[in-house]
């Protein structure tokens, strides 16, 4: 952490984004994923439990546009029903990854349209006074 922190300069532009690196298919009767399946059932009481779920394996990364350094952290696998869109990064996931802790105060943080990034910059890392810019990563 100290080596990275010395190289970073404030007022540079940092980009943060999440990426899916794989999928796994989970039976609705799986004992290993029982807690997440029960949580899904509580959040969707009117929907029937699907026969299987898709588990999205994701990473969260932050990079400095000028120096090119990149830091990645794995996110927890998130279960969604079949044919559902991949999940966005939530504010809690961004905060728990602690990647923004390494970004210097007053920097510009570029994020895609996911609501978790600006919310985490404002609520969880508000003392760093990040300027958040919405960009298209494609």
Q: What is the pLDDT of residue 131?
A: 84
What is the C-alpha separation between 100 and 16, in angstroms, rounded? 9
Sheet of 52-64, strand order: 70-80, 52-64, 13-27, 108-111, 131-134
Which residues of the chain fall short of a pLDDT of 70? 1-11, 137-138
Query: What are the angstrom distances between the C-alpha of 132 and each of 14, 79, 81, 85, 115?
Result: 10, 29, 32, 25, 11
Three-state SS for 129? coil
pLDDT tens-digit map of 10-50: 568 888 999 999 999 999 999 999 999 999 999 999 999 99
pTM of the model: 0.78
Q: What is the pLDDT of residue 137?
A: 58
């Amino acid at each position: 952490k100290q080596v990275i922190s010395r190289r970073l300069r404030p007022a540079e532009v940092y980009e943060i984004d999440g990426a899916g690196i794989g999928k796994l298919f989970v039976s609705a009767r799986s004992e290993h994923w029982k807690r997440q399946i029960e949580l899904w059932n509580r959040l969707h009481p009117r929907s029937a439990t699907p026969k299987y779920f898709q588990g999205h394996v994701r990473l969260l990364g932050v990079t400095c546009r000028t120096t090119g350094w990149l830091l990645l952290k794995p996110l927890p696998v998130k279960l969604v029903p079949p044919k559902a869109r991949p999940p966005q990064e939530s504010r809690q996931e961004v905060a728990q990854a602690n990647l923004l802790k390494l970004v210097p105060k007053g920097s510009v943080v570029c994020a895609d349209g996911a609501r978790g990034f600006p919310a985490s910059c404002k609520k969880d890392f508000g003392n760093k006074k990040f300027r958040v810019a919405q960009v298209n990563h494609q």
